[in-house]
Amino acid sequence: MPMQAQLDRRAAVAALLKDRKNTLVVSGLGSPTYDLHSVGDHDGNFYLWGAMGGAALIGLGLAQAQPGKPVLALTGDGEQLMGLGGIATIGVARPRNLDIVVIDNQHFGETGMQASHTGRGVDLTAIATACGFATTGTVRTLEEVERLTRQIAEPADGPRLFVIKVLAENPPRSLPSRDAVFIKNRFRAHLGFAAA
């Protein structure tokens, strides 16, 4: 029986994005969007407030359009579970610049902390491995997250998926704009594309 995770999600995400350089980030709805914003708003962030199951696949389209830039899909266990098929699609597409990081509290935190599949034996890293991901891993401590951050900064042979097991609690919300058109246009301007 694995130990109950003790890691604070905000500390984990802050460590992960400490030196993000030119990384483009897409965050899944709910807590990962608040976590990403809590580190500091950034023009290279695209925050989801819906489209559950889509974060990693938005990451795929973006990674294919920008093969020279690292793309990070930062999402939660519930969001990634809704997009399980997308792990197969990404495994087949095999981008070398896409990392999926699942902030896994093993619960649906937005809706009353109901237990999710990942606390009941479903292992997203094993699914990603079976789908042909180049690298996968699970980390549980801040030191391991810091090591993971250095690992992610290295080039990859294909897509990677990492699970960060965190304590199931909802820190105070840190809310980015919910105006998707604004966030989209700001993101594209960051990459040098004029607004339509």
Partner 1 sequence: MHSPQPNPDSRTSDDWPSELYRILKAADVRQMSYVPDAGHSQLIRLSSADQDVTTNVLTTEEEGVAIAAGAWLGGQRSVLLMQSSGVGNCINMLSLSAIGRFPLLMLVTMRGEWAEFNPWQVPMSRATQPSLEAIGLKVMRAETAEDLIETVESAAALAYESDQQIAVLIGQRLIGKKKW
Chosen residue from 52, 122, 134, 156 binding partner 1 by CB under 8 A: 52
From 14-22, 149-157, 163-171, 176-184, span contacting partner 1 (CB under 8 A): 176-184
Residue number, 86 or 109, with CB nearest to partner 1: 86
Residue number, 17 or 26, with CB nearest to partner 1: 26
Neighbours of 50 (CB within 10 A): 9
Cβ-count burial of 151 within 10 angstroms (0-12 exposed, 13-18 middle, 19+ buried)?
Answer: middle
Does the footprint of partner 1 cover residue 83 (CB under 8 A)?
Answer: yes
Does the footprint of partner 1 cover residue 175 (CB under 8 A)?
Answer: no
Rg from Cα positions in the chain: 15
Cα separation values, 82 from 114, 121, 166, Å: 15, 16, 19
Tell which positions 93-122 bind partner 1, by CB under 8 A.
Answer: 93
Residues near partner 1 (CB under 8 A), total = 37
* Beta bridge pairs of residue 165: 104
Does the footprint of partner 1 cover residue 21 (CB under 8 A)?
Answer: no
Looking at this protein, which amino acid is placed at residue 131? C
Does the footprint of partner 1 cover residue 151 (CB under 8 A)?
Answer: no
Residue number, 7 or 98, with CB nearest to partner 1: 98
For 41, residues 6+ apart whose C-beta sits below 8 A from its C-beta are 176
Chosen residue from 8, 14, 41, 88 binding partner 1 by CB under 8 A: 88
